Amino acid sequence: MVKSNLKRFSYLLNSQIIRDFKITLGTAIGLMILNIFWFIHVLNGFLEGYLENLKYQKEILNGGINTFTSFNINHNRMSISFILLLLVCFCLYCCYLWFGEFWGENKTSYTLLNLPISRKFIILYKLLAAFFFYIALVFFQILGIVIEYFIFNARFPKEFLKYESFKELIIYSKLNFSYIIPDYYLNIIWLIISLIALVLVIFLFSLLTRSFGIKGGILGAIIGCSLIFVYYILPSIMQLYSVERFFWMIGISTVYIIIGWFGSNYLLKNKVHV
């Protein structure tokens, strides 16, 4: 029984990833291109505003001039607005994972809900599909950093260019992506648990909307807003220290994981109909 469930689980996960491959690839590449264009815009502004001043300094200092790497241009580029855009795309995809089953001409909810497999496995494979989407987004942002490295080296005047190895590039880029790919093990734990909570709350919102219509959607939105408030806003109001904030976020995420998991499982078993 367990082996058969695992086989169906593996099949469903592979099917979901293959079915959504164009969406995943298109979104990831689109965000990467947007990021690269923003880097080029910032680089152009830097060259126009500072290049003449750098040449003047070189003449005055008789060759004593600072040199630059792509990180000097890149380190402020990963703005909060871009991170929010990435998270918005991620949240929309999490909604699509369920709404795509129930709506549209090619809805597959009948087949999915009539499979001889536990509802928990259905939630789990959707969760892993969401993580695959997130990893794809992050991977292409890292690829974008490498492309920007070559763009910078091709366009920046060699006299002001400092050699930057790929190892240094990766190390420096960690600062850009600290919110989405932290390198410290406690932060990695925090990110994974927080993402699981976010995904399961979005799943709960989607299934509430499917089960109860607008009223369910409003209830799901309230749950989602409460997560944002107690997770992001309340710790600032309480003025928690870093360690206290970490354990607060882990605790809150755990609570919402329980709510999202059991709520979604209950709705799939008892309320969601084809």
1-54, pLDDT tens digit by residue? 566 778 888 888 898 999 999 999 999 999 999 988 888 888 787 777 666 666
Q: Tell me how long the chain is.
A: 274
Query: Could you give the CA distance from residue 28 to residue 199 in angstroms, rounded to a whole number?
Result: 18
For residue 93, count other CB atoms closer than 10 A to its CB.
Answer: 21
pLDDT in tens, 214-246: 999 999 999 999 999 998 888 888 887 888 888
Each residue's pLDDT tens digit, 149-158: 888 777 777 6
Please enumerate in sequence order all residues whose Cβ is within 8 A of that of 203, keeping only pairs 6 or more positions apart, or say none. 94, 97, 98, 123, 126, 127, 260, 264
pLDDT greater at residue 191 or residue 110: 191
Q: Are 175 and 75 in contact (CB under 8 A)?
A: yes
Confidence of residue 251 (pLDDT cuts 50, 70, 90): very high
**33 is written with which tokens?**
């291109």
Q: Left if phi > 0, otherwise alpha if psi is -120 to 50, otherwise beta: which for 63?
A: left
Give the pLDDT score at 107: 62
Amino acid 261: pLDDT = 96
Whether residue 66 has pLDDT greater than 90: no
CA dihedral (216, 219, 224, 229) in degrees, to 10, reads 170
Among 168-182, 197-211, 228-242, the range scoring the smallest mean pLDDT is 168-182
pLDDT at 119: 85
Is pLDDT above 50 for 60?
no
Mean pLDDT, residues 63-87: 63
What is the pLDDT, as a whole number, of residue 134? 94
Q: Which two tokens stand for residue 198?
A: 């976010």
pTM: 0.85
pLDDT for position 170: 64
Question: Is the Cβ–Cβ distance between 203 and 94 less than 8 Å?
Answer: yes
Quick one: what percent of the chain has pLDDT higher than 90?
A: 37
Q: What pLDDT does residue 44 have?
A: 80
Confidence bin at 115 (pLDDT 50/70/90): confident
Give the CA distances from residue 255 to residues 201, 204, 251, 259, in Å, rounded to whole numbers and listed in that order. 11, 14, 6, 6
Q: In terms of pLDDT, which residue wins out, 54 or 250?
A: 250
What is the pLDDT averaged over residues 195-224? 93
Give pLDDT, residue 58: 55
Query: What sections of the chain are H helices per DSSP?
Result: 2-19, 21-61, 70-74, 80-102, 109-113, 119-155, 166-176, 185-228, 234-238, 242-270
